[in-house]
Amino acid sequence: MGVYRGASSVRHRILALAVALAATSACSGHPEQPDNARICAAYASAQSGVEVIGTGLVVAVLGTSNGPSGEHEGFVLKLTGDCDLAVRVETNVDITGPVPLHAGETVVVKGQFEDDTSGGVIHWTHHDPSGRHITGYVEAAGKYYQ
């Protein structure tokens, strides 16, 4: 009987490990789906502070600039889909490190949309070291910068 319990225990441990690995792999990615319509709606109604996830083509890389919260890189993202909107995206490279982008590349961004006259800006595209803000990211070439 001791052998049977041992085999059963091993099977339970293997099953528990398989369940844990499946849960971990499901949680390790970014399961949220882009919603460009949400960005367009925020822009159309002049809303700011809206958490968004968008996708599109990089049409221009703006380079870096220094600000009060560190060095930032910017690029212009032309949203794909029904909405004809180009938004500026800013990421804090002091947090994410450099994000190697080029014009024509498809990216996904998660961050906070702020309305402005140029089409809007998405920022907070990285984690918040203070833990007060939802983690954003830039996904480019299969790699997440956050």
- The rounded average pLDDT for each run of 10 residues, N- to C-terminus, in the chain (146 residues) is 40 39 41 91 95 97 87 95 91 92 97 91 92 92 93
Among the listed residues 102, 107, 120, the one whose alpha carbon sits nearest the alpha carbon of residue 80: 107
Q: Which residues of 97-123 are buried (b: 16+ CB within 10 A; e: fewer)?
A: eebebeeeeebbbbbbbbbeeebbbbb
Q: What is the pLDDT of residue 118?
A: 82
